[in-house]
Amino acid sequence: MKHIGNLLASATLLAALLLPSTADAQCRSYAKNKWVPELAPYKFNETFNAAQLAPGEDAEVSLTFYSGQEYRILVRSHPILGEVNWKLVDGSNKIIFESLADDPKHTFDFKVASTQQLKVQVWVPEAPNANNMTHVGCVGILVGFKE
Amino acid sequence: MRITLLGWTAGISGLLLLQACGGGQPAQDTLNVDQAADSTAQARKQRTKAIFYNIPSPMETAALLKKAGAQYDKDILNDPNKNSSYTAASKQALNLGIYGADLSYASVYNNTHESMLFTAAAQNLAKQLNISSAFSQEVVDRMEKNRDHRDSLLNIISETYWEVDAYLKENQRENISAMMIAGGWVEGLYIATAVCAAHDTPELRQRIAEQKLPLTDLIALVSTYSGTDQSVAGVLNDLKALEAAYTGVSAAGGGSSVSQEGGVTVIGGSAPSASLTNEQLKAITEKTAAIRNTYIN
């Protein structure tokens, strides 16, 4: 009995250690196959910003955009989370573009008149039945540019 | 965070099943939780916001340089044959980024032969860093097969850079990732300044000046790991020294006005383009070369 208990504990530890990296790897694989193609005809900028988020959590990406280039920002979430809210803000947190979960827009195409830093802020709406379920899902923030 | 799952003996088989059945979609946890007793939910609520710093990739930097009129000069790039001399993990990570930048530069300018040499050098360093699964022989074979198709080759290089970076992050080796990114960024700036020294143009100066912005983000990224890794702390000091060379450079522009131009949304107004005085360019050029020299030797 004690032997089974030890085995169970070891299996649990192994699962707990492996799960986050496996989830991240599958998030990458999912993004590569499902989301990156949505950047076309823009070229993916090679940086994968993804986080495993739960309802109520948020993430932020700081980006430099160069004058003369055209960009596409793509924000996507795994279906288990549903749609997420996101916005593009300048250095003073002034909103330039916003997409809300009840009227989602997954992409925003633009160019900048002069090189500047902007931030993409994403937050996951609280789930209606948050009292008894915790969902964790992949959210990806991808950027494409035209060469 | 999900280490609290350890207490849930009933969830073990479900967890293992989730591991085994990952399939094409990312693994997601759907957990039945007793809210009163759930420390995971409480901990997640208290979690710091996930913040990322998106440093322009070597490919984007190389494309910008080409657009700015920079010429290709293979003599300024790192010697691919030196890859086996890098034995410390920190040097391997920095030079993986450096060879990645050189590879992007050579490929954007369609210099296939040199691209393949840098690919081999980078792949060997990836092997030394135990990240062969993200930069495998299969990738090299694909590149070889597409060596005469520039767009395909650039796509494979981009994909590989992404895979390597993501693999490192997923395997809790963010410090190595940060050093690779720093090495690549420094090499990109080195190429820009070296090319500018040979053929100075206002456009190149502008692009060099603008690097002040991602440098701020790079310093923030590297700072995250400098407390626990002495090599990363050294890179942080290098970047701060470079930041000092940028003192007085005005790179931030724009503003957040939004307008339409030929059907494209344009952000920002009529801020002047970033520029550099001769003294500023000299200081940045010399500091970048000095830092890069310590990385490649």
Taking CA atoms, B30 is separated from B15, B27, B33, in Å, by 10, 10, 9
Question: pLDDT tens digit string along A25-64?
Answer: 778 888 888 999 999 999 888 887 888 899 999 999 999 9
Q: Is B91 exposed, middle or buried (0-12, 13-18, 19+ CB in 10 A)?
A: buried
Residues in chain B: 297
In CATH terms, the fold of domain A2-145 is Jelly Rolls (2.60.120)
User: Which residues of chain B lie closer than 8 angstroms to A25, CB-CB?
Assistant: 166-167, 170
User: Which residues of chain B lie closer than 8 angstroms to A109, CB-CB?
Assistant: 264-265
**Mutate: best of B38, B107, B221, B256, partner A, most A CBs <10 A:** B256
Task: Please count the other Cβ atoms lying within 10 Å of the Cβ belonging to residue B69.
Answer: 13
| pLDDT value, residue B9 | 27
Residue of B nearest to A147 (CA): B63
Structural domain spans, chain B: 59-250+272-296
CB contact under 8 A, B26 and A29: yes
Task: For residue B296, give the amino acid letter.
Answer: I
**Mutate: best of B17, B107, B171, B267, partner A, most A CBs <10 A:** B267
Q: Provide the token pair at B46.
A: 């208290």
Task: For residue B124, give the amino acid letter.
Answer: N
User: Which residues of chain B lie closer than 8 angstroms to A82, CB-CB?
Assistant: none
Q: Looking at the predicted structure, is the pLDDT value of residue B288 above 80?
A: yes
| Residue A7 touches partner B, C-beta closer than 8 Å | no
User: Which residues of chain B lie closer than 8 angstroms to A46, CB-CB?
Assistant: 57-60, 158, 161-162, 165
What share of residues in chain A are helix, strand, coil (percent, to 5)? Answer: 25, 40, 30
Q: CA nearest B89: which of B214, B183, B222? A: B183
Which of the residue ranges A7-21, A31-45, A121-135, B257-271 has the most confident prediction, judged by mean pLDDT? A31-45
Predicted ipTM beyond 0.95: no
Kindly state the helix (H) or strand (E) to which residue A96 belongs, with its residue range. Answer: strand A95-99
The pTM score is 0.82
CB contact under 8 A, A135 and B272: no
